[in-house]
Amino acid sequence: MAFLEVQNAGKIFTSSSGKIYEALRGVNLQIEEGEFVSLIGHSGCGKSTVLNMIAGLGLATSGRVVVDGNTVNAPGPDRMVAFQNHSLLPWLTVRQNIALAVNAVYAKTLSEDERNALVEEHIMMVNLSAAADKKPNQISGGMRQRVGIARALATRPKVLLLDEPFGALDALTRGRLQEQLLKIWEAHRITVVMITHDVEEALLLSDRIVMMSNGPAAQVGEIMTVELPRPRQRMEVINNPNYYRQRNELLYYLNKAKKAKAGKVPATPVTSSVNSSLEKSTLTLGFVALSDCAPLVIAQEKGFFKKHGLDVTLSREPSWKAILQGVLEDRLDAAQMVAGMPLGELLGTYQRTAIPLVSAMTLTRNGNAITLGRKFYDQGVRSREDFKRYLEADRSGKKHTLGMVHPFSMHNLMLRYWLAGANIDPDHDVNLVVIPPPQMVANLQAGNIDGYCTGEPWNARAVHEGLGFVPVTDLDIWAGHPEKILGLKESWAEANPKTHLALIKALIEAGHYCADLAHREEITQLITQKKYVSADPIYGTLGLSGTYDYGFGRTEPVPNFNSFDPTVDNLTEKLWILTQMARWGLVTFPENWQDVLARIYRDDLYRQAASQLGITVPTATYQPLTLPDGMTLDPADPLAYLQQFAIQREINIAAVKLPARLLYVA
Amino acid sequence: MTATSEDKKVLTAPTPLASEKANPLGEFLQKADFILLPLLAIGIFLGLWQFFSAIGKTGQIPGPVQVLTDSWPLISDPFFDHGSNDKGLGWQLIESLKRVAVGYILAAVVGVSMGILLGSFKPFRTAVDPIIQVLRTVPPLAWLPIALAALNQAEPGAIFVIFVTAVWPIMINTAVGVMQTPQDYRNVADVLQLSRTTYFFQILIPSAASYIFTGLRIAVGLAWLAIVAAEMLTGGVGIGFFIWDSYNSSRMSDIIIAVLYVGLVGFALDRLVFYIGKWFVVSE
Q: What is the pLDDT of residues A484-503, one digit of tens each?
A: 999 999 888 888 888 898 99
Task: Enumerate the residues of chain B whose CB falls inside 8 A of the CB of residue A48.
Answer: none
Please answer yes or no on whether A137 and B282 come within 8 Å at the CB atom.
Answer: yes
- B6–A90 CB contact, under 8 Å: no
Cis status, amide bond into B123, omega within 30 of 0: no
User: What pLDDT shows up at residue A270?
Assistant: 47
How far is B107 from B165, CA to CA, in rounded Å? 8
Q: Which residues of B touch A (CB under 8 A)?
A: 1-4, 6-7, 9-11, 182, 184-185, 187-188, 190-195, 198, 202-203, 206-207, 209, 282-284
What residue in A sits closest to B279 (Cα-Cα)? Answer: A91
Q: Does position A606 have pLDDT exceeding 90, yes or no?
A: no
> CA distances (Å), A274 to each of A277, A278, A306, A310, A314, in order?
9, 9, 11, 9, 20
Q: How far off is chain B from A130, nearest CA to CA, in Å?
A: 8
The pLDDT value given to residue A665: 41
Distance from C-alpha of A537 to C-alpha of B227, rounded to nearest angstrom = 95
- Give the distance from residue A135's alpha carbon to the nearest chain B alpha carbon, in angstroms: 9
Please say if the pLDDT value at position B8 is more than 60.
Answer: no
Reading phi first (left if > 0) and then psi (alpha if -120 to 50, else beta), residue B215 is in alpha
Q: Per residue in A57-85, pLDDT tens?
A: 988 899 899 999 899 999 988 999 988 87
Of A16-20, B44-48, B269-273, the poorest mean pLDDT is in A16-20
Mean of pLDDT values over B136-152: 86
What are the C-alpha distances in Å from A50 to residues A21, A200, A222, A431? 15, 21, 15, 36
Q: How many A-B residue pairs are in contact by the CB < 8 A criterion?
A: 86
The per-residue pLDDT for range B70-95, each reduced to its tens digit, is 888 888 888 888 777 778 888 889 98
* CA quadruple A375, A381, A384, A386: dihedral sign: negative
Query: What is the mean predicted confidence (pLDDT) over A355-361?
Result: 89
**Strand, coil or helix: A331:** coil
Task: Give the pLDDT mean for A105-112.
Answer: 89
Distance from the Cα of B179 to chain A's closest Cα (Å) equals 17
Q: Which residues of B touch A143 (CB under 8 A)?
A: 6-7, 10
Q: How many CA atoms lie within 13 A of B176 on its CB side?
A: 12
Interface test with A, best of B188, B203, B210, B280 (most A CBs within 10 A): B188
Q: In chain A, count of helices (H) and strands (E)?
A: 25, 28
CB distance A214 to A260 below 8 Å: yes
CB contact under 8 A, A81 and B191: yes
Q: What is the mean pLDDT of residues A333-360?
A: 85
Q: Is the pLDDT of residue A414 over 70?
A: yes
Q: Which residues pair with A284 in a beta bridge?
A: A313
CA–CA separation, A493 vs A502, rounded Å?
12
Query: Residue ranges of the alpha helices (H) in A396-519?
Result: 410-421, 440-445, 458-464, 474-478, 490-495, 497-515
pLDDT tens-digit readout, A198-220: 899 999 999 999 998 887 888 88
Stronger pLDDT, B127 or B3, i.e. the higher one: B127
Average pLDDT over residues B183-205: 90
Model confidence over A264-300: pLDDT tens digits? Answer: 544 554 444 444 577 888 889 999 888 888 888 888 8
Residues of A in contact with B195 (CB under 8 A): 104
Q: How confident is the model at residue A514 (pLDDT cuts 50, 70, 90)?
A: confident
pLDDT at A195 over 50: yes
- Looking at chain B, which residue has its C-alpha nearest residue A142? B6
Which residue from A77, A127, A143 is facing B192, i.e. has the nearest CB?
Answer: A77
CB within 8 Å: A90 and B282 = yes
Q: A554-558: which pairs have CB atoms within 8 A and are 24 or more residues apart?
A: A554/A469, A558/A473, A558/A475
For residues A402-423, give the mean pLDDT: 89
Q: How far apart are CA A140 and CA A125, in angstroms?
A: 17
The pLDDT of residue B283 is: 60
* pTM summary value: 0.59
Please choose, from the candidates A197, A198, A194, the residue with its C-alpha nearest in 3D space to the C-alpha of residue A206: A194
Q: Answer yes or no: do B282 and A77 touch at CB < 8 A.
A: no
Q: Is the pLDDT of residue B147 over 90?
A: no
Residues of A in contact with B4 (CB under 8 A): 127, 176
Q: State how far residue B170 is from chain A, nearest Cα, in angstroms.
A: 22
What residues of chain A, 28 to 47, have a C-beta less than 8 Å from chain B?
A: none
Within 104-163 of A, beta carbons closer than 8 Å to B belong to 104-105, 127-128, 130-131, 135-140, 142-143, 155
Distance CA A384, CA A417 (A): 11
User: Which letter, b or e, does each residue of B12-51 get, where b requires 16 or more Cβ atoms within 10 Å of its Cβ?
Assistant: eeeeeeeeeeeeeeeeeeeeeeeeeeeeeeeeeeeeebbe
Q: Give B187's contacts in chain A (Cβ within 8 Å).
A: 55, 57, 75, 81, 83, 87
Percent of chain A scored above 90 by pLDDT? 16
Instruction: Tell me the shortest Cα–Cα distance from A156 to chain B, in angstroms.
Output: 12
Cβ of B188 within 8 Å of Cβ of A127? The answer is: no
Q: Cβ neighbours of residue A125 under 8 Å, at least 6 residues apart?
A: A150, A153, A184
> Predicted confidence band at A661 (pLDDT cuts at 50, 70, 90)?
low
User: Region B18-45: what's the mean pLDDT?
Assistant: 76
**Contact assignment for B6 to A81 by CB distance below 8 Å:** no
Q: Reply yes or no on whether the pLDDT at A375 is more than 80.
A: yes
Inform me whether the pLDDT recorded for B19 exceeds 60: no
* Residue B22: per-residue pLDDT: 55
pLDDT-derived band at B169, boundaries 50, 70, 90: very high
Mean pLDDT confidence for B168-195 = 92
The answer to whether the CB atoms of B282 and A91 lie below 8 A apart is yes
Band of residue B12 on the pLDDT scale cut at 50, 70, 90: very low
Outline where A479-602 has alpha helix (H): 490-495, 497-515, 520-527, 572-583, 593-600
Contact B1/A92, CB-based, under 8 Å? no
Report whether A635 contacts A590 (CB < 8 A): no
| A-chain residues near B7 (CB < 8 A) | 127-128, 130-131, 143
Chain A hits for B206, CB-CB cut-off 8 Å, are 89, 91
Residue A636's φ and ψ, nearest 5 degrees, are -70, -30
Residue A127 to residue B2, Cβ atoms within 8 A: yes
Residues of B in contact with A73 (CB under 8 A): none
Residue A237 has pLDDT above 90, yes or no: no
CA A149 to chain B, closest CA, distance in angstroms equals 13
Q: Which residue of A has its CA nearest to B183?
A: A87
Of all residues in chain B, what percent carry a pLDDT higher than 90?
Answer: 42
At residue B17, the pLDDT reads: 46
Q: At residue B5, does pLDDT exceed 60?
A: no
Reported as type and span, the H/E element at residue A222 is strand A220-225
Q: Do A143 and B203 touch (CB under 8 A)?
A: no
- Residue B22 Cα, gap to closest chain A Cα (Å): 29
The residues pairing with A189 across neighbouring beta strands, listed in sequence order, are none
What is the tens place of the pLDDT at every residue in A532-582? Answer: 877 766 665 556 777 788 888 788 887 778 888 777 778 888 899 999 898
| pLDDT tens digits for range A132-189 | 999 998 998 888 988 998 898 888 899 999 998 888 788 888 888 888 888 888 888 8
Mean pLDDT of chain A: 85
Are B283 and A89 an interchain contact pair (Cβ–Cβ within 8 Å)?
no
Cα(A144)–Cα(A67) distance, integer angstroms: 28
Computed over every residue of chain B, the mean pLDDT equals 85
According to DSSP, residue A291 is labeled: G
Mean pLDDT computed over A302-308: 88
Q: What is the pLDDT of residues B93-112, one digit of tens each?
A: 998 999 999 999 999 999 99
Nearest CA in chain B to A105: B192
B6: confidence class by pLDDT, cuts 50, 70, 90: very low
